[in-house]
Amino acid sequence: MSAALARTRWSTAEYHSNDDPNTRFVEQILAAQRTGLTCLPDQLGLFTHDYQQLIAGHTASTTEQGQLRQQLLELRRDEWQDLVNLLLKHRAHRHASERLMAHIVAAASLGSEHLWRDLGMQSRDQLRQLLTHNFPSLVQHNDRDMRWKKFFYKQLCEQEGGYVCRSPTCEQCPTYHDCFGDES
């Protein structure tokens, strides 16, 4: 799918908004996914009807790796849904596309690399721009600049009451550098 097609569909379906930066973000994510630079499955983490709307009836691009990732996502749907719920609790309520971006970010959070890489962003700064646009209060809450995946899962653990940290404070924690620090 061309970036132009992605732009057209993203901005003319239910997601209409000429000034929505998600149009640009999703172009970049699609291009990165198609060139194997993300951990995202063929449908980017979107439900089939949303993905079909995005590609506007054109033949979906599939790869063996993308299909395998789709199957893995199905196995982790509950975890994916928890992440989606967390993100949407903090959505900006400016654009309908925030719902779809929550689905994509949640799928990328299931990968094993830094989130900015798994999502196909150019840098951690660009990821922050995307998150700030879509889920501003969640970004504000990460006031110690924790690594994003760690931060998301910590929120889920605290919500569920299943606090998993092994230390009373981050400063005393033996795995401090897993949660904070460079993500280049």
- Binding positions for ligand SF4, rule: CB under 6 A: 154, 165, 167, 170, 173, 175-176, 179
Which of 69, 154 has the CB closer to ligand SF4?
154
Q: What is the DSSP letter of 172?
A: G
> What DSSP string runs through 2-60?
-HHHHHHHHHHSTT--TT-THHHHHHHHHHHHHTT-S---TTTT--HHHHHHHHTTSPP
Q: How far is the CB of 177 from ligand SF4 (least distance, A)?
A: 8
Q: How far is the CB of 87 from ligand SF4 (least distance, A)?
A: 19
Q: How far is the CB of 169 from ligand SF4 (least distance, A)?
A: 7
Which of 72, 170 has the CB closer to ligand SF4?
170
3-state helix, strand, coil in the chain (%, to 5): 60, 0, 40
Which of 96, 170 has the CB closer to ligand SF4?
170
Which of 92, 165 has the CB closer to ligand SF4?
165
